[in-house]
Chain A
Amino acid sequence: MSNNRVTRRQFLNYTLTGVGGFMAAGMLMPMVRFAVDPVLQKKEGGDFILTKQKISELTEVPVKVDFTFEQVDAWYKSNVTNTAWVYKEGEEVIALSPVCKHLGCTVNWEGDPEHKNQFFCPCHAGRYEKNGDNIKGTPPLGPLDEFEVKEKDGLLMIGNTRANTLV
């Protein structure tokens, strides 16, 4: 009998370790997926989204630009449409987030006829200057966020929000 013959005990050991390994992997894989998933999800929103807005048609008056992306929420996929207020400052394209810094309503350009040239929040009458700066004495405590922008074939692309760089 040669030494490297597999004994019954060794055979059982190998098999059980093998099976145990599969079981462990079966248990661990979903856990790893859960741990990694949030990271992967961030990535999806992180890309620039192409809009239908032609850069050449922008002026110094803010216009509403819609953009739609797919949001994955656990197993549920849905299309989410967001908006940006977009205008030109010289040659530079500015895109502001419409989300009010008070409690998150959607602000409108000249939404209040009494305050021309300002963004207005219909919820608690918050107001912002055109560059997003919050007007003192109204509820919002900070300026509107800004979107990163890019151009592709003359069309506007919208990226992530970041803190306002204009005020």
Chain B
Amino acid sequence: MFWIGKDVDVFLTQKEFIDTAIVPLAVMDGSPIGMKQSASAAEFLMSLTAFVEQQFKGRIMVTPPFTYTNSMPKKNFIEAIDDELKSAGFKYIFYMTSDHSWTSETPELTVLWLPSIPLGDMDQSVKQSVLSDQLRQVVPMLSAKWAGQ
């Protein structure tokens, strides 16, 4: 499911099945050297989360991305988002990102970190196989949580 009206209607009646939220975390860097990197990381992240959504539509809701700059107190923001999603009824909340800083900063949250791969110049079928490979990294982490590891 996506965070859109139609899917939320389904969520509200099927909460016991749609029990997982994925929040993409995307850093925005406007500096001359960082901009391209941050843009292509965001592009990768959005493609990957959309692909995960396609595979797990009936169990996962992908929220709009949380976008931040490195000067923002992002940790506080994300804690507020976590509380909000918990109160919405999500049992499992995953944060997906290519920004390495999250892995050390928020040990209490489930952060799935994936190094970004520039998809920009790939043709559709190559892109598709890159995304399936990445999905294969993600699925075991989801299953482990779902199985209550």
Q: List residues of chain A with CB under 8 Å of any chain B CB.
A: 66, 68, 79, 81, 99-100, 102-106, 121-124, 139
Note all chain A residues with C-beta closer than 8 A to B124. 68, 79, 81
Q: Out of B18, B125, B143, name the residue touching A103 (CB < 8 Å).
A: B18
Judged by DSSP, the binding face of A is loop
- Whether A102 contacts B58 by the Cβ 8 Å rule is yes
**Is there a chain A Cβ closer than 8 Å to B57's Cβ?**
yes
**Is there a chain A Cβ closer than 8 Å to B54's Cβ?**
yes
Q: Lowest 6 CB-CB distances: which A-B pairs, in order? A: A103-B58, A104-B57, A123-B59, A105-B58, A123-B58, A106-B55
Contacts A123-B17, A124-B17; is A105 near B128 (CB within 8 Å)?
no
**Is there a chain A Cβ closer than 8 Å to B14's Cβ?**
yes
Provide 15 A-B residue pairs closer than 8 Å at the C-beta atoms, listed in order of the A residue. Answer: A66-B128, A68-B124, A81-B125, A99-B57, A100-B58, A102-B17, A103-B14, A104-B57, A104-B58, A105-B59, A106-B57, A122-B55, A123-B17, A124-B17, A124-B59
Min Cβ gap A102→B in Å is: 6
Q: Which residue of A lies closest to B14 (CB)?
A: A103
* Most chain B beta-carbon contacts within 10 A, residue among A68, A102, A104: A104
Note all chain B residues with C-beta closer than 8 A to A121. 58
The docked-state distance in angstroms from the alpha carbon of A79 to that of B55 is: 17
Min Cβ gap A80→B in Å is: 9
For the A-B complex with A68-B124, A104-B58, A105-B55 known, give 16 more contacts whose Cβ atoms are closer than 8 Å: A68-B125, A79-B124, A99-B57, A102-B17, A103-B18, A103-B59, A105-B56, A106-B55, A121-B58, A122-B55, A122-B56, A122-B139, A122-B143, A123-B57, A123-B58, A123-B59
Min Cβ gap B1→A in Å is: 8
- Whether B128 contacts A103 by the Cβ 8 Å rule is no
**Is there a chain A Cβ closer than 8 Å to B10's Cβ?**
yes
The docked-state distance in angstroms from the alpha carbon of A106 to that of B58 is: 9
Q: Which residue of A lies closest to B129 (CB)?
A: A66
- Whether B128 contacts A81 by the Cβ 8 Å rule is yes
Note all chain A residues with C-beta closer than 8 A to B56. 105-106, 122-123
Q: Which residue of B lies closest to A121 (CB)?
A: B58
Min Cβ gap B148→A in Å is: 15
The docked-state distance in angstroms from the alpha carbon of A54 to that of B17 is: 38
Min Cβ gap A76→B in Å is: 13
Note all chain B residues with C-beta closer than 8 A to A123. 17, 56-59
Q: Which residue of A lies closest to B18 (CB)?
A: A103
The docked-state distance in angstroms from the alpha carbon of A100 to that of B57 is: 9
- Whether B57 contacts A105 by the Cβ 8 Å rule is yes
Note all chain B residues with C-beta closer than 8 A to A104. 57-58
Note all chain A residues with C-beta closer than 8 A to B139. 122
The docked-state distance in angstroms from the alpha carbon of A124 to that of B17 is: 7
The docked-state distance in angstroms from the alpha carbon of A96 to that of B23 is: 31
The docked-state distance in angstroms from the alpha carbon of A144 to that of B7 is: 21
Note all chain A residues with C-beta closer than 8 A to B143. 122
Q: Which residue of A lies closest to B139 (CB)?
A: A122
